[in-house]
Amino acid sequence: MELSRTASRLQLRLSSCLETVLEIQRILDDSELVLQLEVQATDLRALLENVDSLPVAEYEVSKLESATNRLLEVLKPVLDLTGEKLQPGQVLN
């Protein structure tokens, strides 16, 4: 039972990271990066649809959360210009 709850929590955290990246893609949709981001976004959407069946470990999810937060930090100036309020640390930990 505990393993199932832990796996569920990890999958929720993984979903949160993927959804954050997809939200960034939506925000930047009108920029010149659209063509470059669309391929990655398509892959992320497919991954997100199957996240419940993915075996995940704590270190993998923590690594993805860190990378997602770094991405938010790097994109903060762009996000600020769009008026969007995604911030580093917003991803579920």
The 10s digit of each residue's pLDDT in 3-14 is: 688 888 888 888
Share of the chain above pLDDT 70, in %: 75
Judge whether 32 and 89 are in contact, CB under 8 Å: no
Percent of all residues in the chain with a pLDDT value above 90, rounded to a whole number: 0
Per-residue pLDDT reduced to its tens digit, 82-93: 776 665 555 544
Distance CA 79, CA 72 (A): 8
